[in-house]
Amino acid sequence: MDRVLSGIGRNSFLVVGRVGMDTFPEPPGTAIEDAELLRVDIGGSAANIAVGLVKLGGVAALATRVSDDAVGRYCVARLRRYGVSADHVHPVSGPGASERRNSFAIYESRLEGHQSVIYRNGAADFEMDAADMDAVDLAPYGAVIAAGTVFAAEPSRSAAFHGFKRARAAGMPVIFDVDYRPYSWPSPEVASSVLSEAGALADIIVGNEEEFGFMAGGIDRGLDMARDLARTSAAMVVYKMGHRGAITLVGQTETRTGIYKVQALKPTGAGDSFMAGLLSSLADGRELTEAVLRGSACASIVVSRPGCAPAMPTRLELDAFLASHLGPELVD
């Protein structure tokens, strides 16, 4: 665990995975089919985590591919506007490049009847390859982070595994957000196998009970799988349970934490903000349980605001939230 915390303590992260264009109707509560005004920003799990880390005072760089068009250029420009390094974000090239497109999402800022539509056919980010990862100098970074979507297709799957193995060889902690999205994968069987393989290489694993259950072959076996990973290969596993909080596992030790109740506006972005808040707090040297709770507070903030990347809190906003909200609340 000391090696992992030392790497995270550098507060400089390489995040591997997609950046996409997000749109959402305004004002909040508007259905997509009734929209007359759409706000545009960036999203995608990896990009959201990177933005969250920077807004909380860290350094983050993204490694991925984008489409060679105005949308791809928008995503790169927006990353830089947020302060995320895009030095390792490259447009697709070569045969078929013109058919590769950035992921695109449109979702609503409402809970009742919430609709979220994501287009991922021919996704540009899946074109990242091992050569892209070899071109990244790991020296400026203390840890490597990837979310599960990057493993869903080739060549990005092999590229991400290559990045994990390079990081491990360099003694850097590997951080894995399971982030299972069925629409990205060729089959559940492939997803289960690949995500389990990625989890076995990670020092920190974060996932919800459905994701661990999926990898274990049944929702009733998910917590046992999380426990097994914590006892055999991972320094820390966070098993998220939605409104019932989370269980953090380190070796044989299990710690249950609750959530901060808010008036939620939407269900999206919580997991990405949790990861950013957790890692940023560990980088600050905070005790593990406090770091998990600060991650939970970040998740609560994001679901109460429109958007994903723009909803990620700053350090001042997080501290203000914690000072003004009761919690955390444990729900059985």
Name the residue with tokens 């009734």: 34
The CATH number assigned to the domain with range 2-322 reads 3.40.1190.20
Q: What is the dihedral of CA 162, 165, 169, 173, to 10 degrees?
A: 120
Predicted confidence (pLDDT) per residue in 106-131, tens digit: 999 999 999 999 998 889 999 999 99
Task: Give the whole-angstrom CA distance, residue 133 versus residue 145.
Answer: 13
Residue 231 pLDDT level (bands cut at 50, 70, 90) = very high
Q: Which pLDDT tens digit goes with each residue over 234-249?
A: 999 999 998 899 999 9
Domain ranges, ordered by start, for the chain: 2-322
Cα torsion angle, 158, 159, 164, 165, sign: positive
Cα–Cα dist 218/214, whole Å:
6
User: Which tokens in the block code for residue 142?
Assistant: 């203390």
pLDDT higher than 70, residue 332: no
DSSP 116: E
Q: Which amino acid is at 173?
A: P
For residue 114, what pLDDT is reported? Answer: 96
> What is the reported pTM?
0.96
Between the CA of residue 263 and those of 171, 208, 266, 300, what are the distances in Å? 42, 21, 9, 9
- Give residue-wise pLDDT tens across range 97-110: 778 899 999 999 99
Give the pLDDT of residue 96: 76
